[in-house]
Amino acid sequence: MGPYLLGLRLSGRRVLVVGGGRVAQRRVPALLEAGAEVTVVSPGVTPALDDLIAAGRVTWHARPYEVGDCDGAWLVQACTDDRSVNTAVAAEAEAKRVWCVRADDKDASAAWTPATGRVEEISVAVTAGGDPRRAAGIRDAVVGALRDGTVDARRNRTKPVGVALVGGGPGDPGLITVRGRQLLAQADVVVADRLAPRGLLDELAPDVELIDAAKVPYGRSLSQETINELLVDRARQGKFVVRLKGGDPFVFGRGGEEMIACAQAGIPVLVVPGITSAVAVPAAAGVPVTHRGVSQEFHVISVHVAPDDPKSTVDWPGLARSQGTLVLMMAVERLAKVAEALLRDGRSPETPVMVVQDGTLPTQRAVTASLSTVADRVSAAGIRPPAIVIVGDVVRVGQEVEMVRAERLP
């Protein structure tokens, strides 16, 4: 017969643990988290248990088990590596009608310790017929689904209200934060950017309103004012709205404008940071934006206007003189003018440059060149936005890594 599962509320209740080895080391912290008053009986204990004892969180009797140790216990854990000791502990507990868990013999154990996990107010316990590895695997799957919101998120009576500005990361759906994915699963309305991880939208429930807020360069575009109005309008209807953006909401994402618009309308706003493509895409291409002895700084620049445009607020001469890495966003169509400005103001023509298109996605590809040749190389290769441009000697670090890898391949 299967076990009768029960959630024990152990706060203030004495729990006896016989044994001070690795099994006890795993079980004692969970008992403490449940508020139990834990007593360990064992001639010796692991360093981790010794720390808990030194902190006064566990009572330790540094001796072998003795008959009578089960007195006053609400639960007993027999965790020694001696079968005869575990049998004696279990027999005493049984005689005194105290539940006992035997770590060495699931069939002889009156109770089983499940694999447990907790996500906010939800506790998960899995027994799997007494198979601890299988139980842990199932537990991990359920806890993961609860954390990312794919299990029952929208039935939560304490669903968030207002607007959440969620950074979706650089493109790969797996690179959104756990919190971001969880809120996305709870949304009534999703307002999604063109560069948001589109693969996640397929997971939305059928009744979720999806609003395409794409801003296609030189093409169809939803104005920022309209987006702000949509966020406020849907939130005022009592719906939970997720504004799903690519990268991070506050890195060239106009998240600040949306936050101000909601605040002015009295709408609560939650901000969930995202992994910005400014560092994630170079990393995906094997290029560190900083490297000891090569670059101690990096600059992230939006090139939505060319260096010679009166609207540009970028200090291009200062960047040219800098020895740091330059990470250029929205720069592909103005790359020739960027290279011209950097060369004019002092950057070496031999400065290595890498341009990465569709970073972190299966379609990712990269072109490497020098500052003097990169515009022509990118044009010839047909590189199109979205793409990240990396300027600096760190590009050589990435190339060196690739060479080492190639040499070590069989």
For the annotated catalytic residues, the residue numbers are 193, 215
C-beta of residue 18 within 8 angstroms of C-beta of residue 85: yes
Cβ neighbours of residue 310 closer than 8 Å, sequence gap 6 or more: none
Residue that has been written with the tokens 């700084």 in this structure: 297
Count CB atoms within 10 A of the CB of residue 5: 10
Question: Which pairing describes strands 189-192 and 241-245: parallel, antiparallel, or unpaired?
Answer: parallel
Longest distance between any two alpha carbons in the chain, whole Å: 90
Q: How far is residue 255 CA from its own chain's centroid?
A: 20
C-beta of residue 321 within 8 angstroms of C-beta of residue 348: no
Query: Rounded CA gap, 119 and 139, in Å?
Result: 12
Q: Among 409, 160, 169, 173, which residue's Cα sits nearest to residue 273?
A: 169
Beginning with the edge strand found earlier in the chain, give each strand of the sheet holding 387-391 in spatial order: 298-302, 325-329, 387-391, 352-357, 365-370
Long-range contacts of 142-150 (CB under 8 A, 24+ apart): 142/117, 143/117, 143/118, 143/119, 146/119, 146/122, 147/119, 147/178, 147/182, 148/178, 148/181, 148/182, 148/185, 149/181, 149/182, 149/183, 149/184, 149/185, 149/186, 150/185, 150/203
**Would you tell me the crossing angle of helices 335-344 and 374-381 to the nearest 10 degrees?**
170
C-beta of residue 14 within 8 angstroms of C-beta of residue 37: yes
Structure tokens of 194? 């063109």
Give the type of residue at 382. Answer: G
What CA–CA distances, in Å, run from 132 to 5, 8, 113, 138? 16, 19, 9, 10
Residue that has been written with the tokens 């493109």 in this structure: 171
Query: Rounded CA gap, 262 and 389, in Å?
Result: 33
Query: Rounded CA gap, 60 and 20, in Å?
Result: 9
Query: Rounded CA gap, 364 and 223, in Å?
Result: 29
